[in-house]
Amino acid sequence: MPGGGDPPGGGVNRIVVVGACAAGLSAAEALRREKFGGKIVLVGEEIDAPYDRPPLSKQILASQWEAERLALRPAEQIAALELDLRLGVRATGLDLASRTVLLGDSSVEYDGLIVATGVRPRRLPGSGAHVLRTLADALALRERLKPGRRLAVVGAGFLGAESASVARQLGCEVTLLEPAPVPLAQAVGVPVGEVLAQVHRDQGVCVRTGVTVTSTSPTGVQLGDGEFVTADEVLVAVGSQPNTGWLEGSGLELDDGLVCDEFSAAAPGVYGAGDVARWHNPLFGVTMRVEHRTNAAEQGMAAARNLLRGSDARPFAPVPYFWSDQYGLKIQAHGYLRGHDAVEIVDGDLESRRFMAAYRTGDRLTGVLSLGMPPKAIRPWRQAVAAGTAWSVSETLTTR
Amino acid sequence: MSLKVEFDEPKCVAAGQCVMVAPDLFDQRDEDGVAIVLDDSPSPDQYDEAREAAAVCPAAAIRLVEG
């Protein structure tokens, strides 16, 4: 085991990574960068080589890019990892005792396991609605987005908002339906959510808040109050569910994700990474599950390294980061904004749509978000979040 | 062995992750935060941070070519 001149991951000869997108690939690459010379089995449910998802609701939907640009790595770089790559293969179960992952009719044994099976979109009752998670989803939707067509987007989170933005710019008539009084209020707070909703309204999107959609049909959506909103296409973007069904009954703890400790470990030799993992982030002192692109890469790396390090494992304590592009505006946020107690504009102003917002949770600065600001301006704030800075101290960073 | 940094600028999302892990190799433009490659031929002692930058880039915009 760790120490001396042992090769990394002593005693570990075969590592199985389930999930072949950003987190799974990042884990596989990190294993090789750490000089793990054993076998790596990378299992992916989708048939496509590992590809990137954030552009699906941006450049792909807008037909600015073709699918080939999504590849996370060129084929020769994937080949250089010398993986046992099993694409189009779905994990169906896990036997912890015999260290075996079930793959339908076959199975694979492991010495170390990294679970990176991601999430799948929540759906609504009814039929005829699009969701947006996979490349196939994005291509199917973009095929239908033509000038003058009516698109109803259910859910004004970042995915729904970005899709509405693209569709509007393509000339579609867009209705954005959101159950909360203010879109994204939970994620970014009421003032910022209101600004983002207004941006959509200014662009001609019909933003309807406080409405519940009970079902979808090929001709529109049914609202909870009995109204029917007619649309040519419906996109349901009401959040995701972790892909943990294959782990049920395995003995691993599942609670809106695979429950992991601060090292991203779910059990001895078993680690979680990316959208599927709910882990204890010691930097914020809370358990979180983060569906952001950067977290997938970072947690994939951390899981791989901790798997090899054994007792020298290091806590995974990142500052989460996300960005969103809507109508040419860039939103960037660092930290853990969810559940914040207060939000304050610390630079710029909401009216001009150029601002930086700081988030307080308890007596700490826990997050910062910028809209339309030079991205470098956010860096000192990100560092302050990473340092666990007290809110009262962070006020000295304020430039206004 | 040598290592060359290739940067696909139109893919860059201005996250600045590369600057955080490899400040000697990358910077960000002031106006829009798009990354700038400061040194596309890192020295061997910078290989690790170059690889880390390519790995954390959320847009897969950094590619390393080993020669």
Say yes or no: A127 and A224 in one domain.
yes
Closest CA to B3 of B58, B60, B36, B52: B52
- pLDDT attached to residue A1: 41
pLDDT tens digits, one per residue of A358-375: 999 999 999 999 999 988
Say yes or no: A279 and A295 in one domain.
yes
Query: Where does the pLDDT of residue A4 fall: very low under 50, low under 70, confident under 90, or very high at 90 and above?
Result: very low
Q: Contact A54/B13, CB-based, under 8 Å?
A: yes
- pLDDT attached to residue A3: 39
Query: Where does the pLDDT of residue A75 fall: very low under 50, low under 70, confident under 90, or very high at 90 and above?
Result: very high
pLDDT tens digits, one per residue of A315-342: 999 999 999 999 999 999 999 999 999 9
Say yes or no: A154 and A255 in one domain.
no
pLDDT tens digits, one per residue of A226-271: 999 999 999 999 999 999 999 999 999 999 999 999 999 999 999 9
Query: Where does the pLDDT of residue A9 fall: very low under 50, low under 70, confident under 90, or very high at 90 and above?
Result: low
Residue A388, in any domain of the structure: yes
Q: Contact B31/A297, CB-based, under 8 Å?
A: no
Residues of B in contact with A322 (CB under 8 A): none
Say yes or no: A215 and A267 in one domain.
no
- Residue pair A131/A211 in contact (Cβ under 8 Å)? The answer is no
Last residue of a domain, one of A312, A345, A364: A312
Residue A4, in any domain of the structure: no
**CA atoms within a 13 Å half-sphere pointing along the CA-CB vector of A69:** 18
pLDDT tens digits, one per residue of B6-31: 999 999 999 999 999 999 999 999 98
Average pLDDT over residues A213-217: 98
Q: Contact A323/B28, CB-based, under 8 Å?
A: no
Q: Contact A323/B15, CB-based, under 8 Å?
A: yes
* Residue reference for tokens 């649309």: A231
* ipTM confidence: 0.94
Residue A323, in any domain of the structure: no
Last residue of a domain, one of A287, A312, A337: A312
- In chain A, the percentage of residues whose pLDDT exceeds 90 is 92
- pLDDT attached to residue A396: 80
Q: Contact A294/B17, CB-based, under 8 Å?
A: yes
Residue A6, in any domain of the structure: no
pLDDT tens digits, one per residue of A128-144: 999 999 999 999 999 99
Residue A333 sits at the chain B interface (C-beta within 8 Å): no
Query: Where does the pLDDT of residue A84 fall: very low under 50, low under 70, confident under 90, or very high at 90 and above?
Result: very high
Residue A40, in any domain of the structure: yes
- pLDDT attached to residue A358: 97
Residue A196: which CATH number? 3.50.50.60
Residue A392: which CATH number? 3.30.390.30
- pLDDT attached to residue A399: 61
- Residue from the list A52, A298, A332 with its beta carbon closest to the beta carbon of B60: A52
Residue B37 to chain A, least CA–CA distance (Å)? 16
Residues of A in contact with B49 (CB under 8 A): none
Q: Contact B63/A74, CB-based, under 8 Å?
A: yes
Say yes or no: A213 and A283 in one domain.
no
Query: Where does the pLDDT of residue A310 fall: very low under 50, low under 70, confident under 90, or very high at 90 and above?
Result: confident
Whole-number Å distance between alpha carbons of A355 and A361: 20
Interface test with A, best of B13, B17, B66 (most A CBs within 10 A): B13
- Residue from the list B11, B14, B63 with its beta carbon closest to the beta carbon of A330: B14
Last residue of a domain, one of A236, A255, A272: A236
* Residue reference for tokens 């991951």: A9
Say yes or no: A230 and A132 in one domain.
yes
Residue A381, in any domain of the structure: yes
Residue A1, in any domain of the structure: no
Query: Where does the pLDDT of residue A395 fall: very low under 50, low under 70, confident under 90, or very high at 90 and above?
Result: confident
Domain with A110 in it = 14-120+240-312
Say yes or no: A190 and A266 in one domain.
no
b (16+ CB within 10 A) / e for A32-66: bbbebebbbbbbbbbebbbbbbbbbbbbbbbeebe
Say yes or no: A133 and A230 in one domain.
yes
Residues of B in contact with A29 (CB under 8 A): 55
Say yes or no: A56 and A75 in one domain.
yes
Number of domains composing chain A: 3
Whole-number Å distance between alpha carbons of A279 and A53: 22
Residue A35 sits at the chain B interface (C-beta within 8 Å): no
pLDDT tens digits, one per residue of A273-302: 999 999 999 999 999 999 999 999 999 999
Q: Contact A375/B58, CB-based, under 8 Å?
A: no
Average pLDDT over residues A17-46: 97
- pLDDT attached to residue A214: 98
Query: Where does the pLDDT of residue A398 fall: very low under 50, low under 70, confident under 90, or very high at 90 and above?
Result: confident
Say yes or no: A216 and A298 in one domain.
no
Q: Contact B30/A332, CB-based, under 8 Å?
A: no
What lies within 8 Å, CB to CB, of A63 at 6+ separation is A142, A170
- Which residues of A, range 68-97, sit inside 8 Å of B by Cβ? 69, 71-74, 77
Residue A318 to chain B, least CA–CA distance (Å)? 12
- pLDDT attached to residue A400: 55
Residues of B in contact with A332 (CB under 8 A): 14-15
Say yes or no: A246 and A299 in one domain.
yes
Residue A207, in any domain of the structure: yes
Residue A293 sits at the chain B interface (C-beta within 8 Å): yes
Residues facing residue B62 across a β-bridge: B7
Residues of B in contact with A54 (CB under 8 A): 13, 58-59
Say yes or no: A129 and A113 in one domain.
no
Helices and strands (H, E) in chain A, number of each type: 9, 27
pLDDT tens digits, one per residue of B38-56: 999 999 999 999 999 999 9
pLDDT tens digits, one per residue of A194-213: 999 999 999 999 999 999 99
Domains in chain B, start-ordered, CATH in brackets?
Answer: 3-66 (3.30.70.20)
Closest CA to A163 of A189, A144, A187, A190: A144
Interface test with B, best of A293, A301, A356 (most B CBs within 10 A): A293
- pLDDT attached to residue B1: 80
Q: Contact B33/A375, CB-based, under 8 Å?
A: yes
